[in-house]
Amino acid sequence: MKELLEKRMNLILLAAVLIVALAIGIPTGFRSCSTSTSTSEIPTTAPVTSSPDEEDTTSPTEKATVIEATVKVAKKKANKPKSEKAEKTTKASEETKATEAETTTEPTEETTEPRIFATAEPVEYAASYDDQWDAGFLVAIDNPDEDYYCPHVELTDKNRDLLERLCMGEYGSGGFTGAAMIAQAVKNAMYYYGYTDVATVISELHYTGSTSIEATKSVKDAVTYVFDMDKDAIQHRILYMYNPKLMSEGFSDFHETQRYICNFGDVRFFDD
């Protein structure tokens, strides 16, 4: 009996020791796990936050790096191989386009705009535009007259004023070049037909441009270019001009019987 009591007492003491040991060891383990978890989850620096009122401190270099990286990613995605479904869709689309191209009706002569040459006589090989521009001509044409020549023509102050106003009225909207075309036509008429004043040119060649408007600087410069510097707008004689848009029927029988030379803007120029 005594031995049985001693065994029970020993078991109770052993159980008490185990309970005490467990009571001391378990919290330590929990603290260790909690610290380990917290250390791995908490960042070493505070998260960056921004608001609309805060200034963007990102440097241009950093922004460029981000943009470059974004572009590279976009290119990489674009270069990914197409799926089988996408390939089939693309192939079907290409076949549809090919079919549409085969069934498209070719334009007829009535619906195709004819090629408009710069001069009345179409040529097999157009002349060099650069050669004409390098020579001082403002407008290059396909078949310039290599024999064209118009020497110096002197202008009186009265003729100059009337000519500047005429160029303004005939084609002031054409700027420097448009005015130079008109000035060349008048100069050609004075030299080739022997007219001695601008008023006679207006009367004989039936120019209808207003002469009541003061010329702009660009128009006056154009007259100087043609008469004082002895330059020409184009390498061909021109005498007449008209704007089809200003005609009630859209064309002029009188002018269209002449030799068409070229268009500049809406204005058609002719020789006789």
Least confident among 3-7, 153-157, 167-171, 233-237: 3-7
22, part of any domain: no
Q: Looking at residue 269, what is its pLDDT?
A: 94
**What integer is the mean pLDDT of 69-91?**
43
To the nearest whole number, what is the mean pLDDT of the chain? Answer: 73
Q: Looking at residue 70, what is its pLDDT?
A: 39
Report the distance separating Cα 11 and Cα 19, nearest Å.
12
* pLDDT confidence tier of residue 166, bands split at 50, 70 and 90: very high
In terms of residue numbers, what domain contains 192?
153-271
Q: Looking at residue 119, what is its pLDDT?
A: 54
84, part of any domain: no
Least confident among 90-104, 113-127, 158-172: 90-104
Domain count within the chain: 1
Which of residues 71 and 106 earns the better pLDDT score? 106
**What integer is the mean pLDDT of 36-62?**
42
109, part of any domain: no
**What integer is the mean pLDDT of 29-43?**
38
- The single-letter code of the amino acid at 137 is F
211, part of any domain: yes
Report the distance separating Cα 143 and Cα 186, nearest Å.
22
10, part of any domain: no
165, part of any domain: yes
**What integer is the mean pLDDT of 125-129?**
87
* Residue range 193-231, pLDDT digits in tens: 999 999 999 999 999 999 999 999 999 999 999 999 999
Least confident among 3-7, 253-257, 259-263: 3-7
Q: Looking at residue 124, what is its pLDDT?
A: 80
Least confident among 75-84, 87-96, 197-206: 75-84
200, part of any domain: yes
* pLDDT confidence tier of residue 189, bands split at 50, 70 and 90: very high
Q: What is the pTM of this model?
A: 0.56
Least confident among 3-12, 112-121, 143-152, 240-249: 112-121
Q: Looking at residue 20, what is its pLDDT?
A: 66
243, part of any domain: yes
**What integer is the mean pLDDT of 162-173?**
96
